[in-house]
Amino acid sequence: MYIPEGLNYTNTHEWIKKLDNGILEIGLSDYAQQELGDIVFINLPKTGDTLKAGSVFADVESVKAVSEIYSPMDCRVIEINQDLLNSPELVNQSPYTAWLVRIECGVVDEKVLLSADEYRALII
């Protein structure tokens, strides 16, 4: 299982990548996609949607189950990954490049983010 350094993670198995100007990308970790199995459908929010910390903002359907995706903090969706709507299997193929959404947050709550080492300790 691959857990790259330089990203942050959540205890609900999302990864967060900090981009420029306070923009964050959110995706599913390698651990999450392995646990889900083959992903067949992704339901993403709309651009402009406001997300609350801890709230469900998307869901992923696999051959095993439907899983909810949680927002790590209060934010606004500025972009969704359109490619995933037609090709949800991209999350299985490359979980750390197949981001789900890009969000803009007023303040990044560092307390909810885990380092790669902290995330590794959580799942092992």
pLDDT, tens digit, 9 for 90 and up, residues 63-77: 989 999 999 999 999
pTM of the model: 0.93
Q: How many domains does the chain have?
A: 1
What is the helix (H) or strand (E) element at residue 116, kind and residue range?
A: helix 116-123
Q: How far is 45 from 111, CA to CA, in rounded Å?
A: 24
Whether residue 32 lies inside any domain: the answer is yes
Q: How far is 79 from 113, CA to CA, in rounded Å?
A: 21
What is the helix, strand, coil percentage profile of the chain, to 5? 25, 35, 40
Q: How far is 47 from 50, CA to CA, in rounded Å?
A: 9
Whether residue 84 lies inside any domain: the answer is yes
Whether residue 1 lies inside any domain: the answer is no
Whether residue 119 lies inside any domain: the answer is no
Q: Which tens digits make up the pLDDT trace of 50-64? A: 999 999 999 999 998
Domain region containing 79: 10-108
Whether residue 76 lies inside any domain: the answer is yes
* pLDDT at residue 110 in the model: 82
For 21, 72, 118, the CA distances from 104, given in Å and listed in that order, are 9, 12, 24
